[in-house]
Structure formats: structure tokens, C-alpha cells
Chain A
């Protein structure tokens, strides 16, 4: 393995890297959706609720 190597096509490795790429995109979209859905509720929970602020 030592020495400079030119990358060759390896479907199994490409699938592994593709899996990581797909996971990253799914997580970006999924956590983004969760943030929009639950973000405000979570903030209220963390900050002690809207009532406490009044």
C-alpha cells in the first residue's frame, strides 16, 4: 500500500462512502425538520416556560 496510488473503481468502497453521504444528507434534512417542528417547544422547556417570563 505504500507509495502514491491512483484511485481505482471499487464498487464496495463506493457504496460505503455513498452510505456516509446519504446518511449526512438524511441527517441534515431530518434534524432540520425536527428543529422546525420541536425547536420552539424545546426552547420553552429549557427556558422554564413562557409563563415564567411574564
Chain B
């Protein structure tokens, strides 16, 4: 057994150039994930599809990467006391069934030869939709989309439950009712429904589903923002682990992809989360929305290139999706260093 794993690691079928690309891409994805608390992982699967990996490998390896990233992030949020283990445990059942349904759909579509195309179209719709929403909110200077860093610093008692969540808590009172952190009381069925819907998305697209699950936990269940972030990550550890296992049984998890991606992203996530203490996310949110929109266009261009057999278009799609992520990550780093230097100069001037 160990021999087969070592043989697999030794023969990763990944060239040094590809390893460097995956470490670098992982670093970029990690910076985005650490800073925005979402949105890193769903760039990985489309990039792998554009690199012409089979759909189950692209989705399975994307999900295994999400699993590893979630383990690292959950350890950090556990230290900060931001994980509701009861909520996470209830969500696991719904998410597990959802993931399995999503995974079965991928293999069914793969047997029809349609998986790559349909997953790419789903990504175009998803990236485009979320990108448009985040960009619109950024232009309106709204607080939704990604982690609100100021809200994340509040005490749980100070957090106000959104009206939509209050309405759901009042109207859907099917037992058993559970009490969550922040004195939130909600039907276990609401939690399970949210978990199933996001699990389905995770299983089908190989994403953590945080960009849907986090707003759903906040607006449908009424969980405080920091607890939603921490519990979402805890839940991804299990759902991502199970999803990776199921894909792995079908040969869908390629360690030659996941190991270098994780190596880069673990470092990037530290840099990204450290940057949140320095930079206001609202200033950069518009870049994030733009990156998702460019990602949607890139996947569309790549898919058209693949459909008409034009390698130049496929390459353009890949360059666009990676380029957009790199530009936003560099914008975060540049703004962070500039802010730190300005703070230091002001401190020095005040001391003089």
C-alpha cells in the first residue's frame, strides 16, 4: 500500500514547470482565500479543465485542494473560537448527500461525454453571477460578498440577525429546533436544506461552496459572520474530505496537482489573512468582482476554443483566468505594503 503511494508520488506525471506553476498558482489562490475568505478554490477546477485534465480529475483534485486548505483555515479559526461544532455536525449530513448527488452527476455526464462542457458552462454562470453581484455591491459600497473584516471583529452578542433570517426562524418551526452560538434558534431542517443545496454545488463543481454557504448561513440561518466563516470551514473539512475520498476511489485525486497547490496556498493564506489587518477589503472588492467576471469570460473563451478546436483560444482562456487572479493578489500585496509604509512614515513624523 505504502509502496504504491510512494510510487505514485515519485511518478507524479507532473513536469518541474507544471509543479512550479501549481505552487505559484496555489500561492495566488491562497492570498485570495486568506484575504477574502472565499473565492480561491473555484479558480482551480476551471484552470485544470483548461489544462486538459479529465473532468473527474479536475473536480476531484480541486476538491482535495479545498479539503487541505479548509484543514489549515479551520485550525486557525478554532484558535480564535469561531467554530460552532453543533451547527457543523448538523450540516454534515445534508452536505454529504448533496456532494454524493453532485459527484454522481459528474460521472454520469462524463459517461455521456458532456461533463467538461456542462461544468464549464456552470462555472461561467456561477463566476459571472457572483462576480456581477460582488462588483455591484463594491460599486454601491455595500458590505456583502466575502468577509466583512469589521463585522468579524465584533463580539457575537453585538451581531444583528438579518431580517430574512428572523422571518425564517419565525415561520419555519419544524422540530427539532436547535440553539446555536449567538443565541440563534432555528429548525434543524433549515440547516439541512442549506447544507444539501451547497453540498450539491460542491460535488458538482469541486468547490468548497463557501461563497454560497456563508451568505446562506448568515441570511437563512442567522449565524453571526465570524461563526459562519469558521463553521463553514469546519464543515468543508468533512464534506471536502468525503468528496475527495469518493473522487479518489475513481482515480480522480492527483497528488501531483494537490500537493504543490497546497504548498503554495498555505503560505499565501497566511499572507492574505495578515493583509486583512492592514487593508480595507472594500477598496479591493471591486478587483475581486472583476476577477470573477474575467474568470467567467476566460472559461467561456477556453470552452469555445476547445469546441472549435482552436488551441490559441484555449491558451487565451487559461492566461486570462490565471492572469486575473495574479493581478488581484498583487493588488492586495501592493496595497498592504503601501499601507504599512505610510503608517510607519506617519508614526515617524509624529515622533519627530
Interface positions of A (Cβ within 8 A of B): 1-5, 7-8, 10-17, 19-21, 23-25, 27-28, 31-32, 35, 43, 46-48, 53-54
Contacts and interface: CB of A to CB of B under 8 A. Distances in A.
14 contacts: A2-B108, A5-B246, A12-B4, A20-B262, A24-B72, A24-B262, A24-B266, A25-B71, A25-B75, A27-B267, A28-B75, A31-B267, A53-B348, A54-B351
Contact of B262 (A23, A35, A43, A46): A23
Give 7 nearest A-B pairs by CB, closest first.
A2-B108, A1-B107, A27-B266, A24-B71, A13-B248, A24-B68, A28-B72
Contact of A20 (B67, B246, B344): B67
B128 interface: no
Interface string B278-290: 0000000000000
A52 to B, nearest CB: 8
Q: Is the interface of B mostly helix, strand, loop or mixed?
A: helix
B72 A7 contact: no
B111 A2 contact: yes
Given A19-B5, A24-B262, A47 B107 contact: no
A14 B249 CA distance: 9
Interface residues of B, number: 45
A41 B246 CA distance: 44
Interface of B: 1-2, 4-5, 8, 64, 67-69, 71-72, 75-76, 100-101, 104, 107-108, 110-111, 241-242, 244-246, 248-250, 253, 255, 258-259, 262-263, 266-267, 270, 337, 340-341, 344-345, 347-348, 351
Nearest to B242: A7
A31 B5 CA distance: 25
Given A27-B262, A47-B340, A48-B341, A19 B255 contact: yes
